[in-house]
Amino acid sequence: MDDYKNLTYKNVMGLQWAVEFCPQAQMLIKIDDDTAINLPGLLQIAPPMLIDGALLGRVMNGTKPLRQNSKWRVSRKEWPKRRYPPYILG
């Protein structure tokens, strides 16, 4: 079922699909539908960063789960700790 809570599964499945069906790809870019990318700029800076298995993005440190009612709400049952471990935004 397409649901906001399934985004992690959708991202992992997208990566698995790309590995299986696009083995020749040098780079895989995942962006949201409300995001723009400066592709020429990215292609200028990306080659030195192309390391097998590298994940690039803004690293978030020390963020707290949202406990109030919203689509981003995370219950204490889902994540009981006060802060998330470091993760890449998006």
Q: Write the DSSP assignment of the chain as a string of letters.
A: ---GGGHHHHHHHHHHHHHHH-TT-S------TT----HHHHHHHSGGG--TT---SPEE-SPPPB-SSSTTB--TTT--SSSPPPEE--
pTM check: above 0.75: no
So what's the pLDDT on residue 17? 94
So what's the pLDDT on residue 77? 94
CA-based angle 19:55:26, to the nearest 5? 45
- In the numeric block, which tokens belong to residue 33? 């539908």
Q: Which regions in the chain score pLDDT beneath 50? A: none
So what's the pLDDT on residue 88? 86
